[in-house]
Amino acid sequence: MTPQIFFDAIMLGFEYSLLAMGVYITFRVLDLADLTVDGSFGFGMACSGVLTMAGQPYLGLIAGIAAGAAAGCVTGLLITKAKINPLLAGIVTMTGLYSVNIYVMGAPNVSLLNAVRCYDPLYQALGGDAGLLSVDGVKMAFIIAIVALAVAINAAFLHTETGLAMRAAGDNEEMSRASSINTNAMKVAGLALGNALTGLTGAILAQYQGFADLGSGTGMVIVGLASVIIGEVFGGWRSVTWGLCCAVAGSVVYRLIIQLALALNLLDANALKLVSAIIVAAFMAVPAVRQTFKDRKLRRDARSAMERLLAEDAAALAGATGEED
Amino acid sequence: MPETTPSAGRPLLEVRGLRKTFNPEGSLAHVALDGVDLAMRAGEYACIVGSNGAGKTTLFNAIAGSVIPDAGLIRIGGENVTFLPDYKRARKVSRVFQDPLKGTAPNLTVAENVSLAYGRSKRGSALKMAMRKEKRAFIAEALATLGFGLEDRMDVKVGSLSGGQRQAVTLLMATIGHPYLLLLDEHTAALDPHATERVLELTDRVATSPDIATLMITHDLEDALTHGTRTIVMHEGRIVADVSGEERAHMQVGDLLELFRTTAGTTLADDKVLLKA
Ligand SMILES: Nc1ncnc2c1ncn2[C@@H]1O[C@H](COP(=O)(O)OP(=O)(O)O)[C@@H](O)[C@H]1O
Ligand SMILES: [Mg+2]
């Protein structure tokens, strides 16, 4: 176990924290379980891969955001205009994107190891190999800056009139419509925002890991959910700004947990998806389990109260028959 | 959409020949509105009573746009809104429902909820911060007028308030944007007697504003005669009686029951109806 693997895990956590924020927005703010995520992640990665190969890493990041937003809009329109069940709408978009992503990339995977990537100009500007920061250091600084910017922008947006309307649409749709909020437009916009963050994650990841791979979107929903939920377990429910920060922290903690389990040989790499699925299922079950225990205690208390009354009855009856004798 | 100000003399609400049948095709066909005509002027405050299923809520749904009628015309503030989607006429019509959970967003704060309602009368600020200083001050002042002490709890999530407090917030939200019409659908039915009294007292205060017309559905026949200026009786999708002025001033609950019996041809069948002794 070297410090390097923990450094890598933390960096990976920050990379995926954009995805976690996206899932936070669709899942917690809009109250929608959005399965577009797997597809929009791959879409962002594909766009970024192709543009980075062409020598345009920054355009690649912007294209990743746009691609994700477009995918979110499609799902949003399927939900609001075609009235398709949200889960199904997400699956429809995600499935369609599989083919789209192949067309965009032209191959199942492309290597970007020889291309200029988004952090390279910064690395060179800081002195390159002779500079103060290693490539990893620059990568870490770059991703933290992007994440901080994303948290700030999203937190600010969710406190604007439109952002407030979006939160209201997810919290009480009927009341929102009564406050002249076009809740359908809010859902489309929120799905676009959430998936834009997911697309950006894919775009960044392609450049950071040095390749774009069509298979890597699989299971991203669960990764995002796990991060959001871990964040909530530690951070609780407070404001949306806090929620976004917790999603970021959750993503980092999630990667550290997995890295630790791998390092201790508790886990082999093939088990990652299973472990993620179990984390999500277990944490999401917590409120229900807690309620069950509460109900049980209530019932136990009610039963003992009833038994006291029965005992009184029995005593009274015994007393009455005693007098008759 | 041009802003239409209601010209003097013209009613704020005009409903003509309104009809609605649910499930028209099937064997479950049910006529909920069977030709309703109703006009309300500014400053008018009417109570609606009627049996279960008389169509009271459906009438409100049609006026607010959550149900599109099969036939008829609805004008609000002089504008024909018959086919306008609900969120587009929400600036003109406000509703308060029986369920205190319905009218507010539980995970938003009191101030944020009120802000949403207030924001709807001000456009063109989509990316401005929702909680600006002057707006907070305005909201605090508005909350203080409720007399529920909510101005000190502005940043508390609405989900943690009591039913009466939530209905008070909902009433404020319903009127802060200066709508033409206020529709109250049994809005105190889920509250305890003390909260009911306070919310009704607040209702009377907001409903007597001269620029607004108020319709209140109630099960309390006593309330139906003592609150507002007019009492409307609905039965099987129609308005069967409509009393105001002198006639109403002398009416007792017994007279109202008798009026119902003679106009509807049956007795008032309402399992929730309240006959205060
Ligand atoms: N969306 C709907 N679909 C089918 N039937 C409905 C619907 N809404 C109301 N109804 C029926 O229309 C009738 C009138 O209902 P409603 O307006 O709620 O009555 P009220 O509020 O006077 O008790 C009832 O018989 C009700 O079952
Ligand atoms: Mg009703």
- Provide the 8-state DSSP code for A6: H
Alpha-carbon gap, residue A8 to A140, rounded angstroms: 9
> Are both A63 and A186 inside the same structural domain?
yes
The pairing of strands B181-185 and B93-96 is: parallel
Average pLDDT value for residue range A52-72 = 97
Contact A176 B116 (CB under 8 A): yes
Rounded to the nearest angstrom, the distance between the alpha carbon of B56 and the centre of ligand 2 is 6
Contact B107 A162 (CB under 8 A): no
Closest-CA distance, A187 to chain B, in angstroms, reads 15
**Tokens 């049910």 correspond to what residue?**
B30
Rounded to the nearest angstrom, the distance between the alpha carbon of B217 and the centre of ligand 2 is 8
Indicate the residue of B86, B106, B129 with minimum beta-carbon distance to A172. Answer: B106
Q: Would you state the pLDDT for residue B4?
A: 47
Q: What is the pLDDT of residues A214-233, one digit of tens each?
A: 888 888 999 999 999 999 88
Q: What is the pLDDT of residues A21-31, one digit of tens each?
A: 999 999 999 99
Residues A48-68 as b/e (b if ≥16 CB within 10 A, e otherwise) read bbbbbbeebbeebbbbbbbbb
Last residue of a domain, one of A215, A248, A266: A266
Contact B131 A182 (CB under 8 A): no
Is pLDDT of A124 > 60? Answer: yes
Contact A160 B129 (CB under 8 A): yes
Say which ligand is closest to the CA of B98. Answer: 2
> Are both A152 and A76 inside the same structural domain?
yes
Cα torsion A70, A76, A80, A83 to 10°: value is 110
Ligand 1 binding pocket includes B109 (Cβ within 6 Å): no
> Are both A189 and A253 inside the same structural domain?
yes
Q: Which domain holds residue A300?
A: 274-325
Q: What's the Cα-to-Cα distance from B122 to each of A71, A218, B12, B128, rounded to whole Å? A: 32, 44, 21, 12
> Are both A211 and A324 inside the same structural domain?
no
Nearest CA to ligand 1 atom 6: B22
Cα–Cα–Cα angle for B132, B134, B136, rounded to 5 degrees: 65
First-residue to last-residue Cα distance in chain B: 50
Last residue of a domain, one of A266, A284, A304: A266
Strand ranges, E, within B79-163: 79-80, 93-96
Q: Picking from A45-54, A278-287, B4-13, B75-84, which range would have the lowest pLDDT averaged per residue?
A: B4-13
For the entire predicted model, the pTM comes to: 0.84
> Are both A300 and A223 inside the same structural domain?
no
Rounded to the nearest angstrom, the distance between the alpha carbon of B53 and the centre of ligand 1 is 6
- Say which CATH number the domain at A139 has: 1.10.3470
SS3 A32: coil
> Are both A148 and A284 inside the same structural domain?
no
Residue B114 · residue B169 · CB < 8 Å:
yes
Ligand 1 binding pocket includes B136 (Cβ within 6 Å): no
Number of domains in chain A: 2
Last residue of a domain, one of A226, A245, A266: A266
- Phi, psi at A168, each rounded to 5°: -65, -40
Contacts 24+ apart (CB under 8 A), A277-282: A277/A222, A279/A226, A279/A229, A279/A230, A279/A254, A280/A222, A280/A225, A280/A226, A280/A229
Alpha-carbon gap, residue A247 to A261, rounded angstroms: 21
Alpha-carbon gap, residue A39 to A218, rounded angstroms: 8
Alpha-carbon gap, residue B258 to B225, rounded angstroms: 14
Contact A165 B116 (CB under 8 A): yes
> Are both A9 and A135 inside the same structural domain?
yes
Closest-CA distance, A17 to chain B, in angstroms, reads 24
HEC readout, A287-318: HHHHHHHHHHHHHHHHHHHHHHHHHHHHHHHH
Q: Would you state the pLDDT for residue A266?
A: 79
Quick one: how far is CA A65 from the chain centroid?
Answer: 16
The pairing of strands B71-76 and B13-22 is: antiparallel
Q: Which of B167, B257, B275, B252 is nearest to B216 (CA)?
A: B167
Quick one: how far is CA B220 from the chain centroid?
Answer: 16
* Cross-strand partners of B75: B14, B80
> Are both A162 and A123 inside the same structural domain?
yes
Q: What's the Cα-to-Cα distance from B194 to each of A184, A321, B158, B164, B191, rounded to whole Å? A: 39, 47, 20, 9, 8
Which residues, including other chains, have CB under 8 Å from residue B10's CB and lie 6 or more apart? Answer: B78
Which residues, including other chains, have CB under 8 Å from residue B31's CB and lie 6 or more apart? Answer: B19, B20, B21, B236, B237
Ligand 1 binding pocket includes B57 (Cβ within 6 Å): yes
Contact A180 B106 (CB under 8 A): no
Q: Would you state the pLDDT for residue A320?
A: 79
Residue B182 · residue B213 · CB < 8 Å:
yes
Give the tokens for residue A14.
Answer: 């920050």
> Are both A227 and A280 inside the same structural domain?
no
Say which ligand is closest to the CA of B187. Answer: 2
> Are both A278 and A257 inside the same structural domain?
no
Burial of B85 per CB tally in 10 Å (0-12, 13-18, 19+): middle
Nearest CA to ligand 1 atom 4: B22
Closest-CA distance, A171 to chain B, in angstroms, reads 5
What does the pLDDT profile of chain B (277 residues) look like in tens digits?
444 454 456 799 999 999 999 988 878 888 999 999 999 999 999 999 998 899 999 999 999 999 999 999 999 999 999 999 988 898 899 999 999 999 999 999 999 999 998 875 555 677 888 888 888 999 999 999 888 899 999 999 999 999 999 999 999 999 988 899 999 999 999 888 888 998 999 999 989 889 999 999 999 999 999 999 999 999 999 999 999 999 999 999 999 999 988 888 888 776 666 555 4
Give the number of the atom of ligand 1 that is nearest the alpha carbon of residue B52: 23
Angle between helices A37-53 and A57-80 (to 10 degrees): 150
Q: Would you state the pLDDT for residue B1?
A: 42
Quick one: how far is CA A224 from the chain centroid?
Answer: 3
> Are both A55 and A166 inside the same structural domain?
yes
Which residues, including other chains, have CB under 8 Å from residue A52's CB and lie 6 or more apart? Answer: A60, A112, A115, A116, A117, A206, A207
Give the tokens for residue B5.
Answer: 């100000």
Which residues, including other chains, have CB under 8 Å from residue B271's CB and lie 6 or more apart? Answer: B52
Provide ipTM, 2 decimals.
0.79
Ligand 1 binding pocket includes B55 (Cβ within 6 Å): yes
> Are both A219 and A301 inside the same structural domain?
no
Any chain A CB within 8 A of the CB of B175? no
Quick one: CA dihedral A219, A220, A226, A229, positive or negative? negative
Instruction: Select the residue from B87, B89, B135 to test the A interface by mutation, using most A Cβ atoms within 10 A.
Output: B87
